[in-house]
A = this chain, B = another copy of it.
């Protein structure tokens, strides 16, 4: 059963996929429709040749320039800075943002070996120089690394006529006070808004 073992071995290398999940998934694939397997196999095998980072903002795209950067209806005075390409999709699909994006490629994490030089800060500054941004929204994660990165961006943009904002932290919608951790509660108290 080399084919099955090979498939399970490959599946096991996927994130969040253990021995049992890989087994269960491989048996599911044997039972499923062949055309589905072929479509999925083809999609996985070719994804990297179809998708590449947008040379302007760094989010993933199939085109020369991504759909956000090339969309004339988007507000060119707003820039949202995120850590990872997938964050662009999260924010865009919230429906509450219609500006441009900038992907840093991660967050500053000295202990993890990620210094400012390995992120796209110079590209960000170049866009700030040549662009006409009125507001930059820092949408790094509400973690220590994301906060450090936000502070670094504030430092880089000091003295410029650009409004700098950061995504609100607080209780998730549908959440329960009893389940909120102390830090989230603290942030939601500090960031309380007039009602």
Contacts and interface: CB of A to CB of B under 8 A. Distances in A.
A45 to B, nearest CB: 3
A40 B85 contact: no
B11 A47 contact: no
B10 A43 contact: yes
Question: How many subunits of this chain does the assembly comprise?
Answer: 2
Contact of A23 (B26, B51, B86): B86
Interface of A: prevailing SS: helix
Given A34-B48, A47-B29, A1 B60 contact: yes
A61 interface: yes
Given A10-B40, A24-B15, A36-B13, A1 B45 contact: no
Contacts of A39: 10
Nearest to A30: B51
A143 interface: no
Interface string A28-71: 11101010111111111111111100000000111000010000
15 contacts: A1-B67, A2-B62, A3-B46, A3-B50, A4-B47, A6-B43, A13-B36, A15-B24, A16-B21, A29-B44, A30-B47, A30-B60, A30-B85, A40-B45, A42-B45
Interface of A: 1-4, 6-7, 10-11, 13-16, 21, 23-30, 32, 34, 36-51, 60-62, 67, 84-86, 89
